[in-house]
Amino acid sequence: MRTRAELMELYGLGLSTLEKWYRERAVNGHPEAAGTVGRQLVWDAADWDRWYRDRPEGPAEGLVNRDELMTRYGLSRHALKTLWAEREKNGHPPAAYQLGKALYWDEAAWAVWYEGHRAVPEESELVTLAEAARILGLAQTSVTVYVKRPPAGWPEPAEEQALAGGRVRRRYRRSDILAYAQSRLRRSQ
């Protein structure tokens, strides 16, 4: 049997690392404590050594996280989180791997899904200027000026609705906003 103090000394690990691994045992397969000695948890030495030797240290080749998807596909973090949250409606592929709270997807499967998702006509899916800002990962106040001074490539509204007081609600096709995001990414590279 080994306590955390013994594991720290034997393997040169920090207490916070050991505590984190134990908290995330449902995901990482960390062995359950075998009991206690005094007030300290203890683990069967052979079980813990085997788990430590064989533990997953990270995602396999070909798996990507949200940050990598953002970079490769020109999507904002908000857009990726929205796609994931709406996975039951849009068929988003399941995560292939999870390490703590970080999710990883098979990039090949994700790319095939995303191309199919983008090919679905989204003409009826209109977003407000505020929603467009969230998709782009920008502050709402930064895109309000786009109405009068649009940057290169900014799409025309698909719909304009007159509101009380002379205001106008503009709605944009989500696909146009996503295309603008892609063009921004290409220009920045």
The mean pLDDT of 87-109, rounded to a whole number, is 86
For residue 123, pLDDT over 50 is answered with: no
pTM: 0.43
Nearest-CA neighbor of 100 among 4, 8, 17?
A: 17
Angle at 74 between CA 73 and CA 79, to 5 degrees: 95
For residue 137, pLDDT over 50 is answered with: yes
Residue 72 contacts residue 115 (beta carbons within 8 Å):
no
The mean pLDDT of 129-139, rounded to a whole number, is 87
Tell me which residue has tokens 């596909």: 73
Question: pLDDT (tens digit, 9 = 90+) per residue, 33-45?
Answer: 999 999 999 999 9
Q: Where do runs of H (alpha helix) occur along the chain?
A: 4-11, 15-23, 25-28, 45-54, 66-73, 77-85, 87-90, 107-119, 129-136, 140-144, 174-188
Strand order in the sheet with 168-173: 126-128, 168-173, 159-162
